A = this chain, B = another copy of it.
Amino acid sequence: MKKFQVVGIGNAMVDVLARAEDSFLTDAGIGKGIMQLIDMDRAVELYGMIGPAREVSGGSAANTIAGIAHLGGRTAYVGKVKDDQLGAIFAHDLRAQGAVYETTLAPKDAVDETGRCLVIVTPDGERSMNTYLGVTEFLTSDDIDETQMAEAEWIYLEGYRFDGPESHAAFAKAISVCKAAGGRVSLTLSDPFCVSRHRDAFRAMIQADVDLLFCNRAEMLSMYETDDFDAALAQAAVEVAVVACTDSGNGAFVLSEGQTWHVPAIPTDIVDATGAGDLFAGAFLWALTHGYIPKDCAHIGNIAAAEVISHIGARPEADLKVLIAQAGLKPAT
């Protein structure tokens, strides 16, 4: 038995959550519903414009790993924070959830700080993200622990993490060690604009190494540069063993071994959409590594996504195991 079922690699950051009207997004020049990268000056400017906020550990893959840990999975996370107060908050929350987190801290005298994401939540529950990467941008191959990668049944790579000077090398190292030890590779495309920035690198990785691809409709269309969703899904299924593509209120599509399943979303009131895709992926991976068939993995993913969008913050608050048990799903193996 490998030590970890899933090891995630992503951008470590603390979410700064504030509510605002849609007009605020226009006034502040924020693109709605997407992730935009900002520098420290812009982060300070925006922070000065938003109302009272609350701080919650975030980071896309970190939310996924927190979800797996919450469900009792054996999991670890790799992502860089600084030796500062926000870094301590990030590390605490991940460990307190039960995940292993041992990435070397950026030192106190590093120029950048721990990354943060200013998340503006509009009345419709949509989140518009403004990300100051900070030290998480500078994760290098040296931060990839070969032993940990070899001990992973799956690694989970965050598309956002492709930004930054040494990201590709770090991912290449993780993939090579994981695969050599018989592990498998999952990737999330993260965001349609992230796909635009890194389409060729994503495509090469998908074709060569990825065994499980997470994305949503917009990312899928951007990936294959088409408006034809079915065609894009079909193409992805040719290239990857398992494709899990969420489609917002329409639920998720899973393609595996020549089959396609559509798994409806769980109806819920959307308070804050932050983390829906992250928790879908986390619960899906937990289910996959616990013997559920892909269709049920997507169902379990939808349950987790519905829970996390029903409250502010991108990590589970209700007991997902209870919600999954209530759905009556059982592992196949």
Interface residues of A in 17-54 (CB under 8 A from B): 47-48, 50-54
Q: Are B85 and A52 in contact (CB under 8 A)?
A: no
Q: Which applies to chain A's interface (DSSP): helix, strand, loop or mixed?
A: mixed
Q: Are A54 and B55 in contact (CB under 8 A)?
A: yes
A238 at the interface (CB under 8 A from B): no
User: Which B-chain residue is minimally distant from A51 (CB atoms)?
Assistant: B96
A313 at the interface (CB under 8 A from B): yes
| Whole-angstrom CA separation of A85 from B56 in the bound complex | 14
A308 at the interface (CB under 8 A from B): no
A57 at the interface (CB under 8 A from B): yes
Q: Are B56 and A55 in contact (CB under 8 A)?
A: yes
Q: Are B57 and A56 in contact (CB under 8 A)?
A: no
Known: A84-B85, A85-B84, A113-B85. A96 touches B315 (CB 8 A): no
Q: Are A315 and B52 in contact (CB under 8 A)?
A: yes
Q: Are B55 and A89 in contact (CB under 8 A)?
A: yes
| Whole-angstrom CA separation of A67 from B52 in the bound complex | 12
Interface residues of A in 54-112 (CB under 8 A from B): 54-57, 66, 84-86, 89, 92-94, 96-97
> Which of B53, B56, B57, B86 is within 8 Å of A92, CB to CB?
B53
Contacts of A85 in B (CB 8 A): 84-86, 113
| Whole-angstrom CA separation of A48 from B95 in the bound complex | 9
User: Which B-chain residue is minimally distant from A57 (CB atoms)?
Assistant: B52
Contacts of A313 in B (CB 8 A): 54
Contacts of A96 in B (CB 8 A): 50-53
User: Which B-chain residue is minimally distant from A84 (CB atoms)?
Assistant: B85
A221 to chain B, nearest CB (A): 34
Contacts of A50 in B (CB 8 A): 96
Contacts of A47 in B (CB 8 A): 92
A50 to chain B, nearest CB (A): 7
Q: Are B51 and A97 in contact (CB under 8 A)?
A: yes
A63 to chain B, nearest CB (A): 11
User: Which B-chain residue is minimally distant from A14 (CB atoms)?
Assistant: B55
**Contact residues of A with B, CB < 8 Å?**
47-48, 50-57, 66, 84-86, 89, 92-94, 96-97, 113, 313, 315
10 smallest CB-CB distances across A and B, nearest first, come from A55-B55, A85-B85, A52-B93, A54-B56, A51-B96, A52-B96, A52-B97, A85-B86, A54-B54, A84-B85
| 7 further contact pairs, Cβ within 8 A, besides A51-B97, A52-B57, A52-B66 | A47-B92, A52-B93, A52-B96, A53-B92, A53-B96, A54-B54, A84-B85
A-B contact pairs, 23 of them (CB 8 A): A47-B92, A48-B92, A50-B96, A51-B96, A51-B97, A52-B57, A52-B92, A52-B93, A52-B94, A52-B315, A53-B89, A53-B92, A53-B96, A54-B54, A54-B55, A54-B56, A55-B55, A55-B56, A55-B89, A84-B84, A84-B85, A85-B85, A85-B113
